[in-house]
């Protein structure tokens, strides 16, 4: 089953890409914000301790769930080779600065960024931006709704 092994590597590479390109940081932030909001609505007490323990311990699983929902979207829009090139860029110093602190990008970094987005892969990312946005928004909304409902059910009922 070489195809299955290739598919597994392809999925893992997309997961790595999502970690490198900052996408997962947005979901980590969203999860944290939900907990903050729930903390003000349902402060921890003896009635909801189990709910809070579940929510606080469930972050990694929830982030893994959204990642698994996004992976097929990238598989439908990019080849494995393209994903590998995208990972390469985001692992470069320019790619890391793009995510962490754009203000620290030098002219050389900006040239690398421009070269990447002027490449065939970069142009494909640009051309797929709207499709990706629509599809990822759908799974993100579903993930957020499920998380919201789960948190309400766990904390509201104590």
| Confidence at residue 19, expressed as pLDDT on a 0 to 100 scale | 96
Q: How many CB atoms within 10 Å of residue 93?
A: 13
Distance CA 16, CA 90 (A): 10
Supply the pLDDT for residue 7.
Answer: 65
pLDDT (tens digit, 0 to 9) for every residue of the chain, 158 residues total?
446 666 689 999 999 999 999 999 999 999 999 999 999 999 999 989 999 999 999 999 999 999 999 999 999 999 999 999 999 999 999 999 999 999 999 999 999 999 999 999 999 999 999 999 999 999 999 999 999 999 999 998 65
The pLDDT assigned to 103 comes to 95
| pLDDT at residue number 1 | 41
Q: Is 32 within 8 Å of 149 (Cβ atoms)?
A: no
pLDDT at 8: 87
Q: What is the pLDDT of residues 98-121, one digit of tens each?
A: 999 999 999 999 999 999 999 999
The per-residue pLDDT for 38 is 94
Give dist(CA 126, CA 124) in Å, integer: 5
Domain carrying residue 105: 2-156
Residue 125, H or E segment:
helix 120-156
Name the burial class of residue 17, with classes exposed (0-12), middle (13-18) and buried (19+) by CB atoms within 10 angstroms of its CB. Answer: buried
Domain count along the chain? 1
pTM of the model: 0.89
């Amino acid at each position: 089953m070489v195809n299955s092994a290739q598919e597994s590597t392809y999925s893992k590479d997309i997961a790595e890409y999502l970690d490198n390109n900052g996408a997962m940081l947005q979901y980590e932030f969203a999860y944290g914000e939900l907990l903050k909001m729930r903390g003000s609505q349902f402060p921890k007490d003896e009635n909801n301790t189990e709910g809070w323990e579940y929510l606080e311990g469930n972050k990694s699983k929830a982030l893994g769930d959204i990642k698994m929902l996004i992976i097929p979207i990238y598989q439908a829009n990019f080849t494995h080779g393209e994903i590998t090139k995208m990972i390469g860029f985001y692992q470069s110093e320019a790619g890391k600065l793009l995510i962490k602190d754009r203000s620290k990008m030098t002219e050389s970094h900006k040239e690398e960024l421009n070269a990447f987005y002027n490449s065939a892969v970069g142009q494909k990312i640009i051309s797929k931006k709207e499709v990706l946005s629509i599809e990822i928004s759908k799974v993100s909304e579903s993930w957020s709704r499920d998380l919201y409902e789960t948190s309400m059910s766990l904390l509201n009922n104590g």
